[in-house]
Structure 1
């Protein structure tokens, strides 16, 4: 799914899951239980294991609302293909070429959702 309109139709949770998968994260069972042996509700959601072997709890992965998490996805997209990411973000925000100071200022004000959408499309396009 690479079409901008298709991506815009995804709800936040679906986009977050697709983005994590595109970034190479694996969904696994939660590795922890609390010290009393009690099961905690967030364990039902599992964790995303990242390539560096750190993990992100699925229940807390909200790049469409959390700017810091959106920036993590943005960083991955920029590493994959800077030009494509900038083009996709501009397109997502209905901004055209050529870029000027006002356009750049608007790009810097992108919402976490717009950043996540552009990152997902970029990573998917490069993966083919």
Structure 2
């Protein structure tokens, strides 16, 4: 996904809505035109990425950490391997985009 697509998908999971897509939209604006300019930029704004990270951790901290590991390393961690200082330090330095990807995977898989 592009940053814009991921930001929008996460915004929906966080409760945002496209205010121009309701039944009162007589102008028929295309969906991309309907989003508020104040939509959080989770992929590039460190503070916004921490907001979705907190929500994902609240929902399922184990899934979030595993998803973050995959976003940072681009492969799955062996479930039997121990977390060492190197892996933990690497996760602490995750970029906003990596935190956003992990949060999206966690929040989109909730039941």
Normalising by structure 2, we get a TM-score of: 0.76
Aligned to 1:17: 8
**Higher relative strand content:** 1
**1:23-81 superposed Cα distances (whole Å, 9 cap, x missing partner):** 2222225xxxxxxxxxxxxxx6543xxxxxxxx812xx211111000001101101111
Runs of 4 or more, structure 1, over 3 Å off, are 44-47
Note the residue ranges of structure 1 that are not aligned, 5 or more in a row.
1-9, 30-43, 48-55
Whole-angstrom CA distance in 2 between matches of 1:99 and 1:71: 22
| Paired residues for 1:1-128 under 5 Å | 10-28=1-19, 45-47=34-36, 57-58=38-39, 61-94=40-73, 96=77, 97-127=81-111
Normalising by structure 1, we get a TM-score of: 0.66
Note the residue ranges of structure 2 that are not aligned, 5 or more in a row.
21-32
Whole-angstrom CA distance in 1 between matches of 2:17 and 2:55: 16
Aligned CA-pair RMSD? 1.8
